[in-house]
Structure 1
Amino acid sequence: MAATFRFMGSPIKSIAFGFRNAGTMIRQTAATATKSYSSSSSTSQQQEQSPDDEFSLSLLDGDQEGIAVMSMRRFRYKNAMGRNLIKKFLDSMEEVKFNSKIRVVVLRSEVPGVFCAGADLKERLTMSPQEVGAFLAKLRHSVSEFHNLPIPTIAALDGSALGGGLELALACDLRTAASNAKIGLVETGLAIIPGGGGTQRLPRIIGPSKAKELIFTSRVMDGWQALEMGVVNHCVEQNDGGDAAYQRAMKLAEEILPNGPIALRMAKAAINRGVEVELESGMRFEEAYYAQVIPTKDRMEGLLAFKEKRKPKYNGH
């Protein structure tokens, strides 16, 4: 059966990935959303939750149509990334890849005070060395797949994002954080190193020197400190509902939503490819991706809307 999902904002369509082929849909209003962070609700969900209920993909309606919300909801284990959660995460990405109506993705947690606790170390204790290697390969693959999604992605950090949890957020294009979030790559304190891309993505975001400082010290930052270091794009004071970063991420998604969907994809590709090479090669990437927007109907719609002094209506063609 489909799980009950609670999101702030407009009505949504929710898909439980244990039954993704069934396409089970439910709709909820903002009135029910306020219950998602209540302690009694969380306790009940922890007791009753099935493995199929650990992750959801929700497609928003109305003025927010085009925004997809990926929600981690492994309550008992604080969204620790075990085999099952990773599978659900990969399933959701397949849904996003082949849905041309989705223009931006927001990744958040429904677990109060936690974004993602990183890898499930308790589950890892039961693994052989060979199984650990296979698990880490699957974890890296899932994070890389998310990084490579062709549309803009935003991580909303309303709680702890440590180790693999932060690595997952670093795979997003943008990050918002609540002031009370706990953020850091803490692996060296466990005598290991970040294994989900942290040693590569963090220096590309904030520079090698700052990245080394954070990784060498295993420092845990709050939201404001993460903003100062450049790890997140926005920080907001936490609200009574515990979802301030999610609300800020949604506003950011709404700013992105009206823009040309093909242009957004090409801009992301040009930036991601360009930062890996020297400037001259990067300029050639930009030229190649710009060429792909020239023949689109959306480009002509943008010019006509400008001429007619109205808002453009882009269809992704």
Structure 2
Amino acid sequence: MSDSAGTRLVTVETTPQGVATIRLQRPPMNALNRQLQEELRDAAAQVAGDADVRAVVIYGGEKVFAAGADVKEFAAQDHAFMSRDANRLTSAFDALARIPKPVVAAVTGYALGGGCELALTADFRISADNARWGQPEILLGIIPGAGGTQRLPRLVGPARAKDLIYTGRFVDAAEALEIGLVDAVVPASEVYTTAVEMAQKFAKGPALAIAAAKQAIDGGLDGDLASGLRLESTLFASLFATEDRAIGVQSFLDNGPGKARFT
């Protein structure tokens, strides 16, 4: 999908080490219009289905991750339209969250509103030391609509999520780290390389086992403990049919832990 000028707003590039970068390219602020949302969905399907991709980085560029929704685009949209369209937006972001591979968000500048929700779809978030985070939708008289009311409290706890969502205030990188919204804070010039290095570490691991671990953790959070334990048990057993399990066990027996080279 491209705009009227034929310009793609999301690109995917993969390194020989198996790390794919999903990059937003809608300057100056990477406002998340409908086209960009749908291209993110397409990118998620692309990396999920590519066996050569072992880990993923979501990146908005050196200056900004994503400053939120394109307010001009939805300003004229009414209740009837949004009742039909809201599920499309949610499912686009959910496609990113369900990528069966480790995903790292590399965040510079602003991650606000939909930009924060986009980062929340990743497994890990690397933040620039000058980045600003927040869910300011309440200032427009609305609430987050792409996962913010669900993924944020699961990550930082309900009270902190309510504080951010009720007030719409921005938090700096230091506070984001303190409350668990981000996993590391580095200088802005090092955000992307740090995220790629983290992704490369995961890319060396057993892809099917990592996918199973992600499915078990994320699926378990959606239900009660008993259901999560049943899911874990099923996925655990399924890995005994994989070549990586045979490689890992034999390597452990022959050479000790941590030396297996998975296929």
TM-score above 0.5: yes
**Larger RCO (CA under 8 A, 6+ residues apart):** 2
Q: Distance in 2 between matches of 1:281 and 1:120?
A: 39
Corresponding position of 1:263: 209
Unaligned residue ranges in structure 2 (runs of 5+) = none
Q: Distance in 2 between matches of 1:73 and 1:271?
A: 31
Aligned runs of 1:50-129 on 2, under 5 Å? 50-61=5-16, 65-76=17-28, 78-110=29-61, 112-129=62-79
Percent sequence identity over aligned pairs: 35
Query: Which of 185, 188, 193 is 1:247 aligned to?
Result: 193
Q: Distance in 2 between matches of 1:51 and 1:148?
A: 29
Unaligned residue ranges in structure 1 (runs of 5+) = 1-16, 19-48
Corresponding position of 2:260: 312
Letter aligned with residue 98 of structure 1 = G
1:217-241 C-alpha deviation (Å, 9 max, x unpaired): 21201111101011111111223xx
- Secondary structure (helix, strand or coil) at the match of 1:131 reads helix
Q: Distance in 2 between matches of 1:50 and 1:173?
A: 34
Q: Distance in 1 between matches of 2:215 and 2:103?
A: 13
Contact 1:115 1:159 in 2 (8 A): yes
Query: Which of 88, 92, 99 is 1:138 aligned to?
Result: 88
Letter aligned with residue 71 of structure 1 = R
Letter aligned with residue 88 of structure 1 = E
Q: Distance in 2 between matches of 1:50 and 1:70?
A: 21
Contact 1:51 1:84 in 2 (8 A): no
1:94-135 C-alpha deviation (Å, 9 max, x unpaired): 21222122111110012x421012111112234454434444
Letter aligned with residue 177 of structure 2 = L
Q: Distance in 2 between matches of 1:199 and 1:143?
A: 13
Corresponding position of 2:174: 224
Q: What do you get for the CA RMSD once the two structures are aligned?
A: 1.8
Letter aligned with residue 42 of structure 2 = D
Q: Is 1:147 matched with 2:97? A: yes
Corresponding position of 1:163: 113
Corresponding position of 2:222: 276
Corresponding position of 2:245: 299
- Secondary structure (helix, strand or coil) at the match of 2:211 reads helix
Shift of 1:261: 0.4
- Secondary structure (helix, strand or coil) at the match of 2:127 reads strand
| TM-score normalised according to structure 2 size | 0.92
Q: Distance in 1 between matches of 2:42 and 2:225?
A: 36
